Amino acid sequence: MIALIWLLIALPLAAGAVLAVTGTRLNRQAPALGVLVSVVTLGLAVAAASTRPSASVPLFAGIQAGLAVDGLSAVMVITVAAVTTAVLIFSAGEFGEDENRGRFFGLMLLFSGSMLVTVTATTLPLLLMSWELMGATSWALIGYWWRDPERARAADTAFLTTRTADLGLYLAAGAAMAGGAATLSLNALPHTGSPWLHLVTAGIVAAALGKSAQLPFSFWLSRAMQGPSPVSALLHSATMVAAGAYLLLRLHPLLAATSWAGPVVAWTGAVTALLLGVVAVAQRDLKQLLAASTASQIGFMVLAAGSGGVAGGTFQLVAHAAAKSGLFLAAGAWLTALGTKQLPSLRGAARTHRLVGACFTVGALTLAGLPPLSLWWAKDDVLASARAESAGLYLVGLAAAAVAAVYSVKALWYVTRPVPEDPQAGYDTERPGTRRVPAASAAPLLVLASAAAVLGVLALPGPAEWLRGLLGVPGEPSPKVWELGLSAAVALAAAGMSWWRPFRPRTLVPPAVVRWTDGWLQLERAAHAVVVRPVLAMARALAVFDDRVVDGVVRQVARGGLALAHQARRVDDSGIDTAVEAVGRGGLTAARQARRLDDGGIDAAVNAVASGTRSLGRWARRPQTGLLHQYYAQAAVGFCVLVLIVLLVR
């Protein structure tokens, strides 16, 4: 079982890394390899959900890198793997051989693998690593067509915004260690000592809200639409934005450990669901509408996490993943075929491409929360938890559900209109369309639309109890009959008003409000005004200070050193060198005198001694004749001389 969980995360990560590195060298094989790996990963996910494996290895001193598949993780690994498989099958028909398919499929697998690590991690360090990898791969995928400066800037905006919020995880890790949760186990975080507990909670909440594009971080989701449509489908459904909601659902005990975190999270989710729903209504770009609706729908999951509705939030996450990935794939199919994603230009698109239109219709009606489709049940589960916490939360959530029906039916209204007399005139606003939908698109669209429609069975009494038991939350509130009826009536009324259009919303609200909502509440502009421009101004001021003060001081010091060196050189030339030369000349003169003295005195004396010695040697050699009689005569003479000396001395 241990090998199963390691294989579940290692397979997409390793295969993704290989494909991304090989790039165009495996361009032809990349789609088949990517789909094969995703299918095998889906099989491993099903096996892991059935057997619930766990594993742990030492990472740092006293800190483990833990993985486990529990009830919530079991739901998530299947959701992530299934949506990834559908998206990669769709992508096989979207990317031609002129694209770098190895890099694309490799990054998609890496992205999916990092999400699998995120939903199975049991300790904060491993969660941080996967969180970082997810952010990096999302940046590379959003900026996949990086030669377009606008797309590269969009990737930077998404990356920097989420990275800013991600700093909360580092804050949480540091505070947890300071507060006694030194193992950094997710289960240990609620037991962190006060006041560190509040810092841990604040860091987790900030990171989750940023990743899930909740207020005030929502604007990065709009810029992420510059990426390819399959990237949007994966990023907006089961990964990335869902990661934040998953983290809040996973760490609901941490939110409950403080008195403020639950209400803050719940109200943030409710307000985001309502306001970003209004933003979606204002959009005329289909992908922008779907992106804003993603933030709105994720708001329901965040509302559930803050209200203690783990089962409702999980149900909403799964149902939304199926519906939203199918909608983005349908939008991508039309963008490829017709070259546009503008709603007025897409009039009649569902009639021209009927299969795509049928799947889009199912997905849009599900997103609208109309009964008996899955998101209707899921929203009611969420709203039941919200009502148990606060009547205000319930009313805001109900209003957001009505807005969801409006924007969903608005998109459906455009694409189901009769085909204009000259539809070609509105096409190719983004790029030249191929006028055909790839055959590979059919299967994933049908599967995702079917899942979006039938997942509502999880709300039936038997499956609902099974899901609550699986997640370990058997006592969570269920919606009453009147709540189901009220939400259905609200959704149907809002959908009817949006379809038959008794009035035009743009004529009822001031133009400034329309521009405000059309521009995603101007949050990006506010971020530039509050954060980006002050930071850039400070950076420029510091650069000027560096150039004029720090560098000026350094330059003055350098000039002073240079002048001192010149003076030293002069002193050296005129003083030291002169003295050295004088000493040298004196030494040379003394050497000459010494040589003369040596030649005329010492050498002469030595020569005289040598000459005398040679003379004495010659005189000493003369008696040495080798004749015995001469030696005898010499001895006799010597003896006589000695006798005379003795006699004379006496």
DSSP-based three-state secondary structure for 60: strand
The mean pLDDT value of the chain amounts to 91
Q: Using one digit for the tens of pLDDT, what is the confidence trace for 458-496?
A: 888 888 889 999 999 988 888 999 999 999 999 999 999
Describe the crossing of helices 354-367 and 374-389 by its angle, rounded to 10 degrees: 20
Do 328 and 286 form a contact (C-beta atoms < 8 A)? no
**With bands split at pLDDT 50, 70 and 90, how would you rate the model's confidence at 505?**
low
pLDDT at 507: 62
What is the average per-residue pLDDT within 498-506?
Answer: 71
What is the per-residue pLDDT across 446-456, written as a single tens digit (0 to 9) for each?
999 999 999 98
Cα gap 390→627, rounded to integer Å = 149
Give Dmax (Cα) for the chain: 172
Residue 646 has pLDDT above 80, yes or no: no
Q: What per-residue confidence (pLDDT) applies to 626?
A: 75
How confident is the model at residue 388, as a pLDDT? 94
Q: How far apart are CA 154 and CA 240, in angstroms?
A: 16
Percent of the chain with pLDDT over 90: 66
Q: What average pLDDT does range 101-126 have in this prediction?
A: 95
pLDDT, tens digit, for every residue of 284-324? Answer: 999 999 999 999 999 999 999 999 999 999 999 999 999 99
Task: Please name every residue paired with 63 in a beta bridge, in sequence order, or none if there are none.
Answer: 60
**What is residue 259's DSSP assignment?**
S
Instruction: Give pLDDT tens digits for 382-432.
Output: 999 999 999 999 999 999 999 999 999 999 999 999 988 888 888 888 888
Separation between Cα atoms, residue 318 and residue 313, nearest integer Å: 9
| Model pLDDT, residue 398 | 96
Pair 241, 221: CB distance under 8 Å: yes
pTM of the model: 0.83
What stretch of H or E contains 58? strand 54-60
Q: What is the pLDDT of residues 541-587, one digit of tens each?
A: 999 999 888 888 888 898 888 999 888 888 878 778 788 788 888 88
311-322: buried (b, 16+ CB within 10 Å) or exposed (e) per residue?
bbbbbbbbbbbb
Q: So what's the pLDDT on residue 650?
A: 59
> By CB neighbour count within 10 A (0-12 exposed, 13-18 middle, 19+ buried), where does 292 fall?
buried
CA distance 198 to 168: 12
pLDDT (0 to 100) of residue 584? 81
Give the list of residues 6+ apart from residue 494 with CB closer than 8 angstroms, or none: 368, 402, 403, 405, 406, 409
On the question of pLDDT at 503 being above 60, the answer is: no
User: Model confidence at 245, in pLDDT bands (50, 70, 90)?
Assistant: very high
Structure tokens, 568 = 């030293």
37: Cβ–Cβ under 8 A, 6 or more apart, which residues? 11, 12, 15, 16, 109
pLDDT of residue 89: 95
| Residue 396 CA, distance from chain mean position | 33
